[in-house]
């Protein structure tokens, strides 16, 4: 989750002395953290059957097996074979 940023430093709370009001973990802190995690997760593709829209970039992509594309547009330099033919 490269775009998750932790908001609450829970470890710092552990070092505070007992009785310090700042040592208490509040529900709002958990809510903020879980909302941040949810946003980060929802911005990622599913591992199984991901669906992409917009511009998708893949550097040094290697695919093995069968790759099926209903419609594909390639721009720039392409070296390889499609349906057994070189392009």
Q: Which pLDDT score is estimated for 1?
A: 53
DSSP 25-77: PPHHHHHHHHHHHHHHHHTS--SSS----S----TT----S----SS----S-
Cβ contacts of residue 39 below 8 Å, gap of 6+?
Answer: 3, 4
Cβ contacts of residue 17 below 8 Å, gap of 6+?
Answer: 23
39: containing domain: 1-45
For residue 8, being part of any structural domain is answered with yes
Give the count of domains, the chain: 1
For residue 83, being part of any structural domain is answered with no
- Express each pLDDT in 28-86 by its tens digit: 999 999 999 998 888 888 888 888 888 877 777 777 777 777 777 777 777 777 666 65
Q: Which pLDDT score is estimated for 63?
A: 76
For residue 14, being part of any structural domain is answered with yes
For residue 76, being part of any structural domain is answered with no
Assess contact for 78 and 87: CB atoms under 8 A: yes
For residue 36, being part of any structural domain is answered with yes
Q: Which pLDDT score is estimated for 87?
A: 54
For residue 41, being part of any structural domain is answered with yes
For residue 26, being part of any structural domain is answered with yes
């Amino acid at each position: 989750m490269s775009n998750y940023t932790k908001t609450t430093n829970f470890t710092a709370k552990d070092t505070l002395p007992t009785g310090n009001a700042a040592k208490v973990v509040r529900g709002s802190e958990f809510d903020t953290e879980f909302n941040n995690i949810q946003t980060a997760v929802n911005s990622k593709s599913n591992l199984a059957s991901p669906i992409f829209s917009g511009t998708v970039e893949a550097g040094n992509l290697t695919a093995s097996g069968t790759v099926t594309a209903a419609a594909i547009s390639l721009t720039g330099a392409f070296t390889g074979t499609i349906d057994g033919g070189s392009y």
